[in-house]
Amino acid sequence: MSCSGVTVTVLAENTAQGMGLLGEHGLSVWVETAGQRVLFDTGQGIVLNHNAACLNIDLARADSIVLSHGHYDHTGGLQIALRHAPNARMFMHPSALMSRFSCRDGVTREIGMPGCVRDIVNEHRASVTWTTRPTEVAAGVFVTGPIPRRTSFEDTGGPFFLDENGQSPDLIEDDQSMWIEMPDGLVILLGCAHSGVINTLSYIQELRKGMPIRAILGGMHLGAATAERMAQTVKSLRRLNVSEMWPCHCTGIVAAAQLTVAFGNQCRPCGVGTGNEF
């Protein structure tokens, strides 16, 4: 069953466009179909309440909350979201609860789900659907579960580890994306695409038997991408014939600019306040 009309609104992102809106390093997107409302990621939680109020979005109406992966900048606002919508169904991979770290230039940072949020998830386990495979969230709305990693040029996008000493690489196996089926194609939401944006899009098309991709919106984690990876990404996006791109969050300014050069008006800015009707 496809959705006949969908509204997608960015509630949290690194940049903001519009009077009174605030940005933060993170991502949260409100999705509204004819019958369901889904909150895709929750940002850090610093701006979620403020921006939702400014954009006249009532978080209490959320039927479902999808977490793309267990990093703090996508899960930190879950406590706030559940305060508004305590009966919302949550969708996440079990590994989203793991501790994880970033190690750069000798500096280690904990970047996993905040402890207080992990506690909230454990308290609401009866309301969690563990997405170890493709899963339906609402009519015409699905999450991928783990994404096969088949390309030779994509990686997780950064120095991520499961331990403070940087000895156990974190493959971010909980990374997942969400897609919405429209009569004329797929609208795909990316959290960070740690599995690789091309791996992600190709897998969803495989699941949906080659349905065209109408739009993609979200983070692509290309900030540290090599020239080779960017060239292969652009080439693959052309092959996949993506109609519209709304790169944001962790895509990186340089990578977003390269995508704009390559795709022109097909690639559009996507700060807080961006609203799209499909």
Q: Give pLDDT tens digits for 178-224.
A: 999 999 999 999 999 999 999 999 999 999 998 999 999 999 999 99
For the chain, list the domains and their CATH numbers.
Answer: 7-277 (3.60.15.10)
Across residues 252-262, what is the average pLDDT? 97
Each residue of 1-27: pLDDT tens digit? 667 689 999 999 999 988 899 999 999
CA-to-CA distance for 109 and 53, rounded, in angstroms?
32
Specify the pLDDT at position 217: 98
DSSP string, 17-41: -STT----SS-EEEEE-SS-EEEE-
- Amino acid identity at 221: H
Contact by Cβ (8 Å): 37, 216: no
Cα–Cα distance list, 67 to 36, 38, 192, 212 (Å): 17, 11, 11, 25
Prediction pTM value: 0.97
